[in-house]
Amino acid sequence: MNPVTRVSGTAYPWGQKNVDTDVIIPAHWLKTIRRSGLGKGAFETVRSVPGNIFDDPAYAGAPILIAGDNFGCGSSREHAAWALADMGIQAVIAPSFSDIFSGNAFKNGIVPVVLPQEQVDRLLEVARDQPVTIDLETMTVTTPYQDRFAFHLDPFRRRCLMEGLDEVGLTLAKDTAISKFEERLDVERPWIKGESADEGLAVEGAGRT
């Protein structure tokens, strides 16, 4: 997972409420277990309507999506976060998120930013022709018009996003402690590896001479 400290640029000023994961990525795209390639299926039903925001050249490649309340509700499919990431979205701003989607977004390096509805409405207005910046150092969302909105992230999630740590990365960061624990376990509980207690003590004693 790539570190995320700042997301800045064009934002899709969508604002749609109660967007479920089937809208984000329809069920027939769920046959794959690969994270790449799902971007072309993202918001498929929305994109089927001429003049939709996701195919508007003015917002092409936007790294930020501004949505409405209860974003990511519905099924728990992680493919929804994969699809957003594959289409280049690094952050979603909304008044609220489904808990499961919020967790999946965080695990895939997408910043879920919760702001009050009136601040989201302001960003929807500004984003029509101006960039938006999300800064995890200062925990603020800003615009060229001097708007400055503070948001909150769980400190652990914020650290993981800023350092690019997923579950694998967090485990590898503890590699030294894990190795020491396993070495101690080999001596204290040799039967785990199929050795007798006497064999384990013999090994321990030989190591001390």
**In a shared domain, residues 97 and 17:** yes
In angstroms, rounded to a whole number, what is the distance separating the alpha carbons of residues 173 and 180?
Answer: 13
The reported pLDDT for the residue numbered 1 is 87
The reported pLDDT for the residue numbered 170 is 58
**In a shared domain, residues 178 and 129:** no
> For residue 160, what are its two tokens?
């993981």
Quick check: is 22 in a domain?
Answer: yes
**In a shared domain, residues 180 and 160:** no
Expressed as residue numbers, the domain containing 34 is 6-164
Quick check: is 35 in a domain?
Answer: yes
**In a shared domain, residues 59 and 126:** yes
**In a shared domain, residues 103 and 186:** no
Quick check: is 169 in a domain?
Answer: no
- Asked if residues 82 and 108 have their Cβ atoms less than 8 Å apart, the reply is yes
Identify the three-state secondary structure at position 152: coil
In angstroms, rounded to a whole number, what is the distance separating the alpha carbons of residues 112 and 133?
Answer: 13
**In a shared domain, residues 204 and 106:** no
The reported pLDDT for the residue numbered 35 is 83
Quick check: is 85 in a domain?
Answer: yes
The reported pLDDT for the residue numbered 187 is 76
DSSP per residue over 115-146, as a string?
Answer: --HHHHHHHHHHTTTS-EEEETTTTEEE-TT-
| Segments of the chain scoring below 50 in pLDDT | 200, 209
Quick check: is 131 in a domain?
Answer: yes
The reported pLDDT for the residue numbered 196 is 55
Helix %, strand %, coil % for the chain, to 5?
45, 15, 40
> For residue 31, what are its two tokens?
């046959």
DSSP per residue over 186-209, as a string?
Answer: HHH-GGGGT--HHHHHHHHHHHH-
**In a shared domain, residues 152 and 193:** no
Quick check: is 57 in a domain?
Answer: yes
Distances (CA, A) of 67 to 3, 115, 177, 200: 23, 11, 42, 60
- Asked if residues 136 and 111 have their Cβ atoms less than 8 Å apart, the reply is yes
Quick check: is 1 in a domain?
Answer: no
Structurally, how many domains does the chain consist of? 2
**In a shared domain, residues 76 and 121:** yes
**In a shared domain, residues 117 and 33:** yes
**In a shared domain, residues 154 and 63:** yes
Domain CATH code at residue 27:
3.20.19.10
**In a shared domain, residues 56 and 99:** yes
What residue has token string 């708007």? 147
**In a shared domain, residues 52 and 152:** yes
The reported pLDDT for the residue numbered 84 is 98
Phi/psi for 67 (5° steps) reads -120, 180
Quick check: is 60 in a domain?
Answer: yes
